[in-house]
Chain A
Amino acid sequence: MVKATQLSKTYRLPNESIHALKKADFEASAGEFVIVMGPSGAGKTTLLNLLGGLDAPTEGSAAVNGQTWSKNEKERAKMRQETVGFVFQEFHLLPNLTALENVEMPLFFSRKKNGRIAHELLEAVGLEHRKEHRPPEMSGGEMQRTAIARALANRPKVLLADEPTGNLDVRNSMAVFQLFRKLADSQGLAVVAATHNAKLAALADRVVRLRDGVLNEERSPA
């Protein structure tokens, strides 16, 4: 469902080049939940951004649903709309919009009919009762669950989560990863999540480890 081939990213600075990702091969199929682990600066965010088409690789290629990311920003925006959902550590909800409006936002950009999709997604993450609340009135866990509902609004094929539990306590972290597990199982979503937390790795099908831009398979699907 999501595939990277010899994916490399080099950031060129005035005096040096930083190789954030070195010839990484990666794949996650439909219904698979893969966790990317590694210390800060190892290249986890770079990998997720490249897989989700937010950034362009220096070498190699990434594809979602069999389609390689185009260099054209307009086509990339369209492909992001149709295939990928993002979840961030900082939630990044719009503070002036209600939970429901935040979930509706991707539908607004894809011009899809909203209907009850946003309501159903909020219900699925257990937040139907908080739909009229704005982010400042919600807890960290609730905000992240709203952000997950938002990421699912356009019915993506792949869910990419960059340190989604970085700002959450243990209980909420576990709830978020259990939700990912459920989404992979019930909806056939390919979920790729980066985390520091080794305890959460047990919920995943596979764990890959990144160190200094090099990707290694650590554990085969359980």
Chain B
Amino acid sequence: MRFFKLSWKNLFRRKTRTALTLAGVAASAAVLVSLLGFNNGYQNALEEDVDRLGYQMLVTAKGCPYEAATMMLSGSADLRYMNAETAQIIMDDPRVDKSMPQLIHASYDPEREATGIYMGVTNAYRELKPWMEFKEGEWLTPGAADEVVLGYEAAELDQRSPGDYILVHGTNETLKVVGIFERSGSQDDAIAFVRMETLQRIFPRLENKLTGIGVKLKELDATSAFEADLYEIPDIQVVTMARVKQTIMGLVSSARILVMSVAAIALIVAAVGVINTILMSVFERTQEIGIMKAMGASKADIFRLIWSETTLICAGGGFIGCAFALAAAQIVESLVRNALSYAPNGPIISITVGLMAACAAGAVLLGMAAGLYPAARAASMRPIEAIRKGT
């Protein structure tokens, strides 16, 4: 304790130099905390975004998904479908937590020269996507066959409100609009949602058919094994969200290596700065160290004294840097968000207490490492030479 007091007083002898060194360490610590915070936050936010899709994998009939999408949008009747029996096998698997069968049908109306995209769903849609909020109205009434809920853009296009009726494209069927979703920013905005049975009744050739099933598993770890098992079933293909995530994270990780390198360089620069400052101060105090030895200070005493100074300066810089990073997190967040081509919705800089504690501890360790050489140098000075050099 006394050593720290003496070291503390020594640091105040050259206030400007100490302040500048402290600022250097603090800046490095702030950069480190921000970068690690970004590392954590970005990954979490991205995962959250993918998780908001509601399901971890989408099982569809075999074929090129782009081709299928094009055919759907152009109103072709030749979409590939999976049959209800195959779907049932998947939905009955004990590893499945929730499943959402979906039947997508694009219907072209030659009179209106427009295509409507309809999705036949069950109540599972609401369970898997509970965050889809209603701008107006509500979800499909149980048992009511002729109702429709419109995505935000679908409603805008036809200028519909709850209570209005819509004419199903290419047919004479009408459906009552019961709800309109808020904008979600996803593909669901352009879709008209009806009950599976309703869609199959209006388009009888879709009976017993599905476009795909969104699947949420009980255990996330089981994704790969489940996916492998699914490929045993003929004529289906699986798109896992884990793979989507992997692709995005792959892009992120190359950027991450770059930022971590910057952080490492910042730390090295800080450490060299601290070594330089303390060494300079040791040389300036050569005579003083000699006098202390004449007063009975041992090598270990001098080592501890100088080592404490370095540790104190780094610990101080670490704490200031952490506090600064926390205070500036919002500003850094908006800067990073503007710089990124794809930024997830959640907070992308996540500075936790654990992260700050780790960085502060890292700064103390850095100080201890940086202090070794100056402290050893000071401790090894011979008293008479130290006294003489100073005169």
Interface positions of A (Cβ within 8 A of B): 49, 52, 54-55, 73-74, 77-78, 80-82, 86, 88, 90, 92, 94-97, 105-106, 108-110, 150, 154
Contact = CB atoms under 8 A, between A and B. Distances in A.
Contacts of A74: 298-299
Contacts of B2: 108
B295 A86 contact: yes
B297 interface: yes
Interface string B272-300: 00000000000000011001111111110
A182 B384 CA distance: 29
Given A54-B383, A88-B291, A109 B298 contact: yes
A103 to B, nearest CB: 11
Interface stretch (B8-16, B93-101, B223-231): B8-16
A97 B6 CA distance: 9
A86 B382 CA distance: 16
B301 interface: yes
Contact of A73 (B294, B299, B301): B299
B295, B301, B383: most-surrounded residue (chain A CB, <10 A):
B295
B9 A106 contact: no
B295 A109 contact: yes
A78 B300 CA distance: 12
Nearest to B298: A77
B391 interface: yes
A55 B384 contact: yes
B299 A54 contact: no
B387 interface: yes
Contacts of A54: 293-294, 383-384, 387
Given A54-B387, A96-B12, A97-B9, A110 B296 contact: yes
B245 to A, nearest CB: 57
Contacts of B6: 97, 108
Interface residues of B, number: 23
Contacts of A77: 293, 296-299
Contacts, number: 58
Contacts of B382: 73
A96 B2 CA distance: 15
Contacts of B298: 74, 77-78, 109
B32 to A, nearest CB: 32
Contacts of A73: 299, 382
Contacts of B12: 96
Contacts of B9: 96-97
Interface string B289-319: 0011111111101000000000000000000
A182 to B, nearest CB: 22
A90 B391 contact: yes
Contacts of A81: 295-296
B340 to A, nearest CB: 49
B288, B292, B383: most-surrounded residue (chain A CB, <10 A):
B383
Contacts of B391: 90
Contacts of B295: 80-81, 86, 105-106, 109, 150
Nearest to A147: B291
A105 B305 CA distance: 12
B296 A80 contact: yes
A77 B382 CA distance: 11
Contacts of B387: 54, 88
Interface string B359-391: 000000000000000000000001110010001
Contacts of B299: 73-74, 77
B384 A109 contact: no
Given A77-B299, A96-B12, 8 more contacts: A77-B293, A77-B297, A80-B293, A80-B295, A92-B287, A97-B6, A97-B9, A108-B2
A52 B387 CA distance: 14
B384 A154 contact: no
A156 B382 CA distance: 22
A95 B297 CA distance: 18
B244 to A, nearest CB: 62
Contacts of A108: 2, 6
7 contacts: A54-B384, A74-B298, A77-B293, A77-B296, A78-B296, A81-B295, A90-B391
Contact of A154 (B291, B296, B301, B383): B296
B213 to A, nearest CB: 76
Nearest to A105: B295
Contacts of B296: 77-78, 80-82, 106, 109-110, 154
Nearest to A162: B387
Contact of B292 (A96, A105, A110): A105
B291 to A, nearest CB: 4
B250 to A, nearest CB: 56
B49 to A, nearest CB: 56
